[in-house]
Amino acid sequence: MVKFGGKFAALTLSMNGSEGVLYTTEIRKMTTVYKKWGYRMKKLPLQKAFTFLEPGPVVLVTTADKDKLNVMTISWTMVLDFTPRFAFMTGSWNFSYKSLIKNRECVIAIPTVEYLKKTVQIGSISGAKIDKFKKFKLSPLEAASVKSPLIKECYANIECKIIDYIQKHNIFILEAIEAWVDDSNKAPRFFHAVGDGRFIVDGEKVNHRRIMMDKIPSGV
């Protein structure tokens, strides 16, 4: 594991994972066909609109409540500006929630495509009565600054403090305080949830850093 801390650690992570990535174009099933502005547009059912916005990497979130370690899957995440601050959405229907509220910390672990199926399974079962680390053969590593464990099998791990919680929308605001990356994996590929049980895996990377240079903070 190589630590890559600093102000823009989180951004570095997300750029590693998705910079210029071309996602496989897929044909989505839409129902009604509209002819507008001279070309055909198909109507997308409103409840599916979010599937076009969803793709960010699917992550694992670990917590520790006293000695009880747990891990859940989260795809509803966002980055907040060029800071190492993030948000994710979860609620009291999940076992992890209690620990997040009580202990105000977690680790965001970024799995690679080799762990896609396992990540889905982790997100399909509650840790209330089982030890998901054991069940899914994940190795918890002691974190530097939080009690929640890192996951050895994940490419990157971000230790976070919860700095705010917007109860009305079940949104947790996190501040990364340490970040770790396993640089033995030279070509990590992450995956992204469409939201309907299908996933998009990182593909070709295209570098447009030169065009964006004055937008990218130094060190990123």
Tell me which residues touch ligand FMN (CB under 6 A). 58, 70, 72-76, 89-91, 94-96, 120, 123-127, 193
Residue 92 Cβ vs ligand FMN, minimum distance, rounded to whole Å:
10
Cα dihedral: 114, 155, 87, 102 (round 10): 100
- Neighbour count for residue 179 (Cβ, 10 Å): 24
- List CB contacts of 84: < 8 A, sequence separation 6 or more: 7, 8, 9, 10, 11, 158, 175, 176, 179
Identity of the residue, 127 or 188, whose beta carbon is nearer to ligand FMN in the bound complex? 127
Identity of the residue, 34 or 50, whose beta carbon is nearer to ligand FMN in the bound complex? 50
Identity of the residue, 124 or 207, whose beta carbon is nearer to ligand FMN in the bound complex? 124
Residue 62 Cβ vs ligand FMN, minimum distance, rounded to whole Å:
10
Identity of the residue, 94 or 157, whose beta carbon is nearer to ligand FMN in the bound complex? 94
Residue 195 Cβ vs ligand FMN, minimum distance, rounded to whole Å:
8
- Inter-residue contact 109 to 132 (CB < 8 Å): no
* Beta-strand runs (E) in the chain: 2-3, 33-36, 39-42, 59-65, 68-74, 77-79, 85-89, 105-110, 140-141, 150-151, 156-166, 171-181, 191-193, 199-201
Residue 10 φ then ψ, to 5°: -65, -40
- Neighbour count for residue 201 (Cβ, 10 Å): 14
Q: Tokens 């670990």 sit at which residue?
A: 62
Identity of the residue, 18 or 220, whose beta carbon is nearer to ligand FMN in the bound complex? 18
Which residue has the CB atom at the shortest distance from ligand FMN? 123
Residue 12 Cβ vs ligand FMN, minimum distance, rounded to whole Å:
23
Nearest to 57 by CA among 5, 4, 13, 96: 13
Residue 110 Cβ vs ligand FMN, minimum distance, rounded to whole Å:
13
Identity of the residue, 123 or 149, whose beta carbon is nearer to ligand FMN in the bound complex? 123
Residue 111 Cβ vs ligand FMN, minimum distance, rounded to whole Å:
11
